[in-house]
Structure 1
Amino acid sequence: MQIPLSVLDLAPITRGESVTSSIAASVELARRAEQHGYERVWYAEHHNMPRIASSATSVLISHVGAHTSSIRLGAGGVMLPNHAPLTIAEQFGTLEAMYPGRIDLGLGRAPGSDQNTMYALRRDPSSSDRFPEDVLELQGYLAGESRVPGVEAIPGRGSRVPLYILGSSMFGAQLAARLGLPYAFASHFAPQALEAAVAAYRREFRPSDQLDAPYVIAGVNVIAADTAEQAHEQHAAMRRTLAIGLFAGGRELSDVEADVLLRRGAGQHVDQMFTYAAVGTPPEVADYLHGFRDRIAADELITAHQAPTTEGRLRSVELTAEALEPTTARA
């Protein structure tokens, strides 16, 4: 059975490269995904992270949209407590007007940042408590059924950009079920509650105007390479990169220093994040992804290609698609 595949792109800024080259790489990755039949490419909102260039998510989507023709593009996700719902409705309404029928809006309630960055964003620490109400307010703007008298999202009104709830816990699963929205689980970095959350979502799902049956998207890390040796070398490099990003306090470290971090405890944390990871040759990756999908009966997999170089990520996107024989590639 074919597996609907998508891509999660964090727009990584690799060592020795600039933000400009990172954004160019994201454009090429989306083009490659489009050519190989992927469903969608999503970009995640993160702030104050030296190795991630996807903080201005809607701007990046707009740029990539201008260089692609048919693949769906969206946020995976916008951290809604960082924003006014009206602002997001206007931004994604504008994107939908520019690229009709191609825009998704995934929503999360995490800050995507640390406490100091939350302050810099002028975020109210309690804003995440209003997440369910903010989702409904946003949905109202996009449906042309504003919950705020006299206020409309222009652009955005009546666009009905499809919403997705992102999460890594029971909260997101239950909210998505209650609102009748698709649910995307962040199992590519927070795997612990995957099976319980997906089960709760399916059990509690209520049909809505957007969706008549549960729809689960599961995140999974992928490093597909031409040889097993190449794949495992790339995996080792990504373990170092994650250890540096999470535990080096903003310092640049050598590979030797990164390996010391990994041995001192960072490795356990990194490996837990990589619980769900398809690493190897195309047949090995295909076997893993089929097994992962069957484990939770996911409707779609969103793949985070974790090779440490642009060339490696592009090749991983190609090899994974070819191994799984997805739907006919787009022109």
Structure 2
Amino acid sequence: MNIGLEKINEVLTLYNIKGQVSNLYDFIHYCDDKNTEIKIITKVEFTNRNPLVVKFVRENDHPSQIIESQSVFSEYLRDKGILTPKRYVSEGKYSLNYKLNNLDVDITVEDYLGEEIKAIDFNLAYMLGQLLGKIHRISENGNCLIGNSTIFDFLGYNEVSGYNAFLELGEVEKIDPVMHQEIKDLYLEKLEKVKSSWSKLPRFATQGDVSINNLSYIGGTIGIFDYNIAGDEVLVGDMVLEGLLTANEMDLSGGLTDNDRTELFKHFFKGYITERPLSDDEKTVLSDIYSISSALWFTKIKYNENSLEMLVERKEADKVGELLQEIYDTLHNDNFEVNNTNCKTMPLSI
């Protein structure tokens, strides 16, 4: 499905945006004919103004009212000082219904914020923690809610949890059944402790995906964009999962190795609490959320070359045993000595 100049100009007219378009570039062009779902994100360049991003979305998980709420939240953050793209309004709304090849889609228009960050280092991890702390503080103070969850819901749908994949390995008896049961029992014990406190914890809107491909670095400030999975989450859970996502999955700057990833999380956490100190209730569950999430992180269990699943497939019994022990130890120990750990420093490199 082609998004040509004619359709772009139609959208710009709807938003009363004037300018001479010079180039179109699709960041994402996804069309599912079977389910009639569409996600097309196009960068629009001009001869006489700064670039814009036009989005065409038709997804079951993103109805019009959620896209509008996500846009309202984004603009609220921008108004409170977060560097994030301006969203344009038409007829008092950010999101409009638009006919695209006889299909109803939702469209939005926003400023292009700049090139995404390419790699992470200690100082940048600290700044990302500060950014998320600011977003959470602003959201909490403003009582912001969107009306749906993100894809990183600690007690719900959680794309960075490897627990179910771990269970599957045990069910087909590919790993030591005794150690598998001990890990499972410890996981469930810690999970129940978190659940018992969950309803007391602050839960507000958050951007939902603080990864470097949704971030830019402009004049010494980190900017954030892409609110398509923004939703409401328990803030301390979101902080831990976003911090581990930053530390575990982002490309590393020169001089860093995989051995530095725990330290990257510590920097992220230190930055966060400078902007939003945790409440006593949040401190109570912090260690267990971290232990559960870190121990059974999804790429530790599958996908990566040295994940548990891959080691099992290659029948590397010694390494399987070592990784199972590491998972158990991470669950068993109080891993949050980060509260009292001094962070390393290194020059910032974007």
TM-score, length of structure 2 as denominator length: 0.27
Please tell me whether Structure 1 or Structure 2 has the larger radius of gyration of its CA atoms: 2
TM-score, length of structure 1 as denominator length: 0.28
